[in-house]
Structure 1
Amino acid sequence: MARSLTCVVAEDETLLREALLTLLSQVWPELRVVAACDDGGAALEAIATFQPDVALLDIRMPGLNGLEVAAGALDASPGTQVVFITAYDQYAIAAFDKGAVDYLLKPVALPRLQACRERIEARAAKGAAPDAALAALLQQLTGALPSVAKAPPLVWLTASSGKDTRLIMVDDIAYFQSDTKYTAVMTADGESLLRKPIRELLDALDPAVFKQIHRSTIVNMKAVASVTRDEMGRGLLRLKTRPETLTVSQPFMNLFRNM
C-alpha cells in the first residue's frame, strides 16, 4: 500500500483556506495536512519543519509571497512538490502552461483539484525531484507578478511603553518581535509593545526595507550593521543601534543570499 502524502497549505484568507481544506478532505481524504498557515513566513517554517510531500501556496500573502516561500523551500525541503494558488487566470496560464509545476485558480473547483492530485501522485510515484523545474519557473517569474495597488507604507505608529503611549517613526525601529499576545517594537531608546500581529505589520511595512527573518521577527535592513553565518548556516545580524544579535532562521537564508 502506498504511503499517505503530507501537505502544507498556505492561504491568508481564512474562508478560502477553510474552503480549500474542506475540498482536500473530499477529493483527497488520504492526504495528511500537517500545517495550515495564514502567512508566508509561517508556511516556510512549516515546510522546513515537516518536509511535506506537497505545498499548496497562495501566490499573494502578507510578507513572503508564494513565490518567495517556494524559493526558500528549494533549500529547506527540496523534495516538496509545489502547487501555486492564484486568482490571476492569464498570469497563471502563461506561467504554468508547461506543467512542470501545477497551479490552482481561485475559486478552486473539485475537478481541477482532482486533476492536480493525480499529477502530484504520479510525480511522487516516479520519485521525481521538483527542484530544477521549480527553480527555472521562479527565475522566469521574478518581477513578473502583477502589481496590486496598496496603501502607502506605514510611516509612524503608536505603541505602549509602561503607562505611556509613544509615537514612533518607522524609520527609527530596528526590529519587531512577536509573542503570543504582543509585538515588541525595538528602537535605540528601548522596547515598546504593540497589539498588532506580525502578519498585519508585514502588509503595512515597506517590503524593500523591512524583511522577515523568522516567523516572529521582522528587521529594518537599514538598521543592520553586518551579517555573518554560523556553522549551522543561519545568519547572524548585528544591529547599528541595539546590542543584541538577531538570528535569521535557516529556512529564510535563501532570501538573504546577497547579504
Structure 2
Amino acid sequence: MPFTAVVVDDEPLAREELKFLLSNHPECRITGEAEDAAASLALVKKLAPDVVFMDIEMRGMSGFEAARQMLALPRPPLVVFATAYNEYAVRAFELGAVDYLLKPFEENRLAKTIARIGALKENAGEWASAVEKVAGLLEEKKPRVHKLAVEKSGRIRLLDVNEVIFGRARAGGAQIFADSGIYEYTGTMTELEERLGREGFLRVHKSYLVNLNRVDGVLPWFKGTYWLVMSDREHTQIPVSKNQVRELKNSLGLT
C-alpha cells in the first residue's frame, strides 16, 4: 500500500543515496528531507508523513531524541532508523517493533523494510501498535522525570510539575507560576510545551501553557472563545485562542 516518507540525515550523500534507492519503490512517495533532527521536527509537523527514515548519529539533537518528540505528536509517524553502527540496531530494536537500515544501504534489505511498511499500512491496528511499541522502546532509554528546572535569584530549583499552575511567554524564555512563587524558565515556550505536554498541560494561547488540573473555572467569551480562571492566589484569567477551543473542550469534557 502507498505511503509517504521523509528522509533525515546530516550527510547529503547518505540522503541522496537513500532517496535514490527509495525511488525504485513506487509505493514510497518522498515528500521531504531534512539535514538535522531539529529541522526534521518542523517538517514532520508540517507534512505529517507516514514514515520517517532517520539517521541516529547527527550533529546537535540525536535521531533518538527527535523520534521521541515525533512520537508525541497527534499523528505520529513510523520511524525507521538508519545507522552505520550495528550495535545500535542490535541493542535498541531486538523487539522488532520498528525496522532499521544499516549503512551502507543494501537494496535487498531496503526492499524487506518497504514490504514490511506496506503490510503495516494495510492494517491500521497493527500500524498503531508498531508506532506505540517504538515509543515505548525510546521512552525506556530516557527515565521520565516529573520535575521542571527553573531559576530564581540565580539559583536553580526543580519543581514538581503538579506544583506548576501555568507558564507565560516573555522575552528570552518564560515565566513559571507555581504554588511556591514565580520562576524563570530559560527555554522557549515550544520547549516548555514539549517538556510538559504529557503531564496534563495545554498550550491554550501562543503566550500561555496551562496545567489543566489547575483550572478553577471557564468563562465563555465572545464568538465562542473562552478565558480560563486559574487556581493561583490572584485567580489569573488566561485567554484561549480560537484554534485551541476544541482541544480545550475535549480535554476538560465541556459540551
1:254 Cα deviation after fit? 2.6
Report the Cα distance in structure 2 between the residues aligned to 1:86 and 1:7, rounded to whole angstroms: 17
Please state if 1:58 is matched with 2:71: no
| Structure 2 residue aligned with 1:40 | 37
SS at structure 2 position matched to 1:76: coil
The percent identity for this pair of structures is 36
Task: Confirm or deny: 8 A CA contact 1:235 1:249 kept in the other structure.
Answer: no
1:105 maps to 102
Task: Give 3-state SS (helix, strand or coil) of 2:65's partner.
Answer: helix
Letter in 2 for 1:135: A
Residue 254 (structure 1) aligned with residue 194 (structure 2): yes
Name the CA distance, whole Å, in 2 between partners of 1:97 and 1:134: 11
Check the 8 A contact 2:18/2:105 in 1, yes or no: yes
1:236 equivalent among 150, 169, 176: 169
Q: 1:57 to 1:34 in 2, by over 3 A?
A: same
Q: Partner residue of 1:88?
A: 85
Hey, what does 1:24 align to over in structure 2?
22
CA separation of 1:74 and 1:23: change in aligned 2, threshold 3 A: same
Alpha-carbon distance in 1 for matches of 2:167, 2:30: 28
Matching of residues 68-217 of structure 1 within 5 Å = 68-127=65-124, 128-129=127-128, 130-142=130-142
Query: Given the alignment, which residue of 5, 8, 26 partners 1:7?
Result: 5
Q: CA deviation at 1:88?
A: 1.2
TM-score, structure 2 length as denominator? 0.57
Q: Is there any run of 5+ residues in structure 2 with no aligned partner, and where?
A: 144-153, 157-165, 174-185, 200-208, 210-255
Count residues in correspondence.
168
Map of 2:150 onto structure 1: none
Which residues of structure 1 form unaligned runs of 5+?
144-221, 225-232
For the residue of structure 2 that corresponds to 1:104, the secondary structure is strand
Q: Which amino acid aligns with 1:18?
A: E
Does the CA contact (< 8 Å) of 2:5 and 2:29 recur in 1? yes
The 8 Å contact of residues 104 and 112 in structure 1, kept in 2 or not, is answered as yes
Aligned-pair distance for 1:75? Answer: 2.2
Report the secondary structure of 1:83's partner residue: strand
CA deviation vs aligned residue, 1:135-191 (integer Å, no higher than 9, x gap):
211023339xxxxxxxxxxxxxxxxxxxxxxxxxxxxxxxxxxxxxxxxxxxxxxxx
Q: Considering only CA atoms, is the larger Rg found in Structure 1 or Structure 2?
A: 2
CA displacement at 1:86 relative to structure 2: 1.1
Find the aligned partners of 2:187 and 2:76 in 1 and give their Cα distance: 29
* 1:64-96 CA distance string (max 9 Å, x none): 211111111112254411101111112211211
Output the CA distance in 1 between the equivalents of 2:115 and 2:88. 23
**Alignment check: 8 A CA contact 2:53 2:79 kept:** yes
1:256 Cα offset (Å): 6.2
In the superposition, relative to structure 1, how do residues 60 and 236 fare at CA in structure 2: closer, same or farther (>3 Å)? farther
Residue type of the partner of 2:123? K
Query: How much does 1:234 deviate?
Result: 9.8
2 CA distance for matches of 1:237 and 1:87? 42
Q: 1:13 to 1:234 in 2, by over 3 A?
A: farther
**What amino acid sits opposite 1:68 in the alignment?**
E
In structure 2, what is the equivalent of residue 186 of structure 1?
Answer: none
Give the Cα–Cα distance (whole angstroms) in 2 for the partners of residues 234 and 70 of structure 1: 25
CA RMSD of aligned residues (A): 3.4
C-alpha distance in 2, partners of 1:14/1:141?
Answer: 28
Change (3 A) 1:247 1:239: closer
